Amino acid sequence: MDALYSCNPTIVSSASPPIPLAAAWARSFSPTPSRPLLNLAQGVPGAPPPQQLLDRLAHCTADPETTKYGALEGDDPLRVALADDVVRTYGTLQGAHPVGKDDVVITAGCNLAFYATMLALAQPGDQVILPTPWYFNHAMTLEQLAISLVPLPCPAPTFLPSPSRCAQLVTPRTRAIVLVSPNNPTGAIYPPELLREFAALARENKVALVLDETYRDFVDGRPHGLFAETAWREYLVHLFSFSKSYALPGHRLGALVASHSLLTQVSKLLDCLQICPARPAQRALAWAVDGTRPWREGTRRELEARQRVFREGVEGVEGWEVVTGGAYFAYVKHPFGSSPSQLVAARLASLAGVVVLPGSFFSPRLPGDDAAQDDRYLRFSIANVDETTLRLVPDRLRQLSELWPSLSPSLGDEA
Amino acid sequence: MDALYSCNPTIVSSASPPIPLAAAWARSFSPTPSRPLLNLAQGVPGAPPPQQLLDRLAHCTADPETTKYGALEGDDPLRVALADDVVRTYGTLQGAHPVGKDDVVITAGCNLAFYATMLALAQPGDQVILPTPWYFNHAMTLEQLAISLVPLPCPAPTFLPSPSRCAQLVTPRTRAIVLVSPNNPTGAIYPPELLREFAALARENKVALVLDETYRDFVDGRPHGLFAETAWREYLVHLFSFSKSYALPGHRLGALVASHSLLTQVSKLLDCLQICPARPAQRALAWAVDGTRPWREGTRRELEARQRVFREGVEGVEGWEVVTGGAYFAYVKHPFGSSPSQLVAARLASLAGVVVLPGSFFSPRLPGDDAAQDDRYLRFSIANVDETTLRLVPDRLRQLSELWPSLSPSLGDEA
């Protein structure tokens, strides 16, 4: 007995979430105490938040005040804390109008911030430029909203987008250019000068530059200087997630920093999408932005160490190559030539117990485009596990390489 | 310095959230200890959740497990608990396929459930039938998604929608009929037989019947028998909010019960909109669905008592009339003839310290339609305050009535 009514054909024909498929691969492996499953698929914090933050979260949750509705733009103490953090992270603005709380809106996760931003900027049929490989939820969002996705291929080995190639893609229907740095899935860190070139391109063409910096806190130094210039409100839409920096994705909080005119439209959308973001974690995070700096600094150093350990380990396995890496992710070239990355990922999970995402998850699905390049790659989320566990990965890769010649060359049931 | 880029004209021309306007009216009143502000505007629980639930919430938040991502459809224990609650509330199905966890998806609030449902059902230009007066976030959502809103006027004094009038509005582009019972804003409770007629209409025309039952737990008895028939999945989309029943809107949890084919599409949307709902409250609520039944029953009786107290109080004030009422809301006819409800609401707040929402907030904004009827009304959310506070309302209404003849007949600055 199923529905007599039919659904929106745009949504029916749109892509399904890929993470559950990786979860199914994970279930196909039988772990043993000496051969555990290594899940490097979804980008998730490998350790809980610090005990002090957990205590604050519980304390704020026990207060009946946080069971009430809050402001639709988020609670002021967190907006103030995040605005101060932006000033601290990106440099102090000389002159008037530094980033303040009125430039900030808190959302129920960074995905929702992206969804609201796209809805606020583009109508069905408008165009948004997305570098490929892309973060799949960005591509899915555009598909769901019938916004035309214009892929900007980022070639190996740097996976950096080219401003001049991007300029050729801009048309009168272009509404935004979306960049993610540090990048998901490649881990590539976009240099400040490159971001400055994209800023100039966005201003010149009067389109928004949507810059998702979810993984910003895991890289040392100032990510870019755009916020330190008065012109940032003319073009910049900054997206941030509290999930990764503060290790609490289960609380679902993100943020958006942008011009007053965009936030006015976004607020209308958020009134219908979220009413307000969940409140207990907002209150705890207002403290945590300053209160957990040393812990976040430690996490950053740990991830940098993991990147080194991972790279060195994989370099010792014949045929496998870490092409880019930074913050949470490493983008790894597999040695199985034209075998589809989805087949490689399925077998790596079921036969060697390492769950990763295939490059094809981050690529255009249409024939005739750049999917072929990304099919040579796998995304490893090295943030998920500790260094000791990460050291188990190279042997597993070696095991799959040894098994590979005996396996059927066709797709089979695994993918 | 503002944006050089422009925003989506559909969103730019769409309505702004009305609650902040009511908040501005509230600020225009100077309360004193003997004359406090009575805020009956936004529908909010007047008392915190029971201490046992607060304790559980804090306990679940302290567990680092709940800082992690969860399942995108929500966590199984809460889905199971809600499915069981549906069976208990609406009657046991004779035969196969009673409501189970796979029929349930948990969302970051009931507004998000509505947003995802509309996106999953309708494309821009498709039609959705909405009884008027409506819940403003429903109308805003349709406007934002460029879905054509077809108003179904519900005449005073019952404010019940007519199935035969609705049938005349159905076209080949109709994708859904949306009903809210108990109603927001009128408080009208739709009889089971009326809902059965709408169910037949929806099945016959192969459109979805979206039934928002956010205020269900505040009315005694079985709301309807639709879930007790095997055919419910053919047409019914049930929306529920945990915010009101469990007094925790700040935690943002709602739910959607529908066919497998709708939930498949909704899940794609939720992967981009929420990734997963916030987790600590999900765990606490899995207990609270059964664990707080006596408390919820007590709240229901309390609200029924408040409805009586309010009605009796207002009946004693000349010219004012409680036309409908149930669960959270009462819809009250003001005595100021053709004065716009927004002017009446602004003055009631600034001069008499009672904040309510004007009927115009729940009405079509286009000229030539039924706004005139709703401009005679104000929505009082009687759930917000206790019985003692509620008893202060009649005197305040009397004060405004006495002042009214001395006030300018024009709109002025107040609204």
Q: Enumerate the residues of chain A whose CB falls inside 8 A of the CB of residue B226.
A: none
Query: CA-CA distance, A56 to A74, in Å (whole number)?
Result: 18
Give Cα separations from A162 to A158, A203, A209, A212, A374 (angstroms). Answer: 11, 16, 14, 17, 17
pLDDT above 60: residue B415: no
Task: Please give the angle made by the CA atoms of B397, B402 and B405, to the nearest 5 degrees.
Answer: 120
Q: Look-up: residue for tokens 């149930």?
A: B326
Question: Which residues of A are less than 8 Å from B11 in CB distance?
Answer: 119-120, 265, 268-269
Q: What is the pLDDT of residue B412?
A: 52
Distance CA A350, CA A27 (A): 8
Would you place residue B317 in the very low, low, confident or very high pLDDT band (cuts 50, 70, 90)?
very high
User: Over the stretch A74-98, which tens digit does the pLDDT of each residue have?
Assistant: 999 999 999 999 999 998 766 667 8
A4: nearest CB among B59, B72, B203: B203
**Contact between chains at B67 and A272 (C-beta distance less than 8 A):** no
Mean of pLDDT values over B54-80: 97
Neighbours of B48 (CB within 10 A): 16
Instruction: Please answer yes or no on whether B265 and A8 come within 8 Å at the CB atom.
Output: yes
DSSP labels, A121-190: H--TT-EEEEEES--HHHHHHHHHTTPEEEEEE--TTT-PPPHHHHHHH--TTEEEEEEESS-TTT----
Lowest mean pLDDT segment, chosen from B32-36, B241-245, B409-413: B409-413
How far is Cα B199 from Cα B191, in angstroms, rounded to an integer? 13
pLDDT in tens, B340-354: 999 999 999 999 999
Residues of chain B with pLDDT > 90, as a percent, come to 88
Q: Compute how many other C-beta atoms are within 10 angstroms of the C-beta atom of residue A100.
A: 13
What pLDDT sits at residue A142? 98
Domains of chain B: 12-41+294-406 (3.90.1150.10), 51-291 (3.40.640.10)
Give B335's Cβ-side CA count (13 Å radius): 16
Over chain A, what is the mean pLDDT? Answer: 94
Q: For residue B69, which residues of chain A lie inside 8 Å, CB to CB?
A: 42, 44, 249-250
Distance separating alpha carbons of residues A224 and A195, to the nearest angstrom: 7
In which band, very low, low, confident or very high, does the pLDDT at B413 lie, cut at 50, 70 and 90?
very low
pLDDT in tens, A150-177: 999 999 999 999 999 999 999 999 999 9
Helix axes A110-121, A136-144, angle to 10 degrees: 40
Q: Which residue of A has its CA nearest to B282?
A: A250
Per the CB < 8 A criterion, the answer to whether B263 and B101 are in contact is no
Q: How close A395 comes to chain B (CA, Å)?
A: 28
Confidence (pLDDT) at A415:
45
Answer yes or no: is pLDDT of B205 > 90.
yes
pLDDT for residue A38:
96
pLDDT of res. B371: 53
Q: What does the pLDDT look like over B79-96, one tens digit per residue?
A: 999 999 999 999 876 666
Which residue in the set A5, A12, A137 is minimally distant from B207, CB to CB? A5
B37 pLDDT higher than 80: yes
Predicted local distance difference test score (pLDDT) of residue A136: 95
Q: Are B146 and B200 in contact (CB under 8 A)?
A: no
pLDDT of residue A408: 81
3-state DSSP of chain B: CCCCCCCCHHHHCCCCCCHHHHHHHHHCCCCECCECCEECCCCCCCCCCCHHHHHHHHHHHHCHHHHCCCCCCCCHHHHHHHHHHHHHHHCCCCCCCCCCHHHEEEECCHHHHHHHHHHHHCCCCCEEEEEECCCHHHHHHHHHCCCEEEEEECCCCCCCCCHHHHHHHCCCCEEEEEEECCCCCCCCCCCHHHHHHHHHHHHHHCCEEEEECCCHHHCCCCCCCHHHCHHHHHCEEEEEEHHHHCCCHHHCCEEEECCHHHHHHHHHHHHHHCCCCCHHHHHHHHHHHHHCHHHHHHHHHHHHHHHHHHHHHHHCCCCCEEEEEECCEEEEECCCCCCCHHHHHHHHHHHHCEECEEHHHHCCCCCCCCHHHHCCEEEEECCCCCHHHHCCHHHHHHHHHHHHHHCCCCCCCCC
Q: Are A405 and A368 in contact (CB under 8 A)?
A: no
The reply to whether residue A268 touches residue B49, judged by beta carbons under 8 angstroms, is no
Say which amino acid occupies B199.
A
Residue in B251, B249, B258, B263 with CA at minimum distance from that of residue B226: B258
Helices B393-403 + B293-315 axis angle, to 10: 30
Residue keyed to tokens 């910049």 = A236
Q: Which residues of B touch A120 (CB under 8 A)?
A: 7-8, 11
User: Poorest-confidence range of B72-81, B87-96, B128-137, B161-170?
Assistant: B87-96
Please give the average per-residue pLDDT across B388-394, as a whole number.
96
pLDDT of residue B96: 63
Q: What does the pLDDT average to over B11-35?
A: 92
Query: What pLDDT, on a 0 to 100 scale, did the predictor assign at position B28?
Result: 93
Q: Which residues from chain B sit within 8 angstroms of residue A235, using beta carbons?
A: 3-5
Residues of chain A with pLDDT under 70: 1, 93-96, 365-372, 410-415
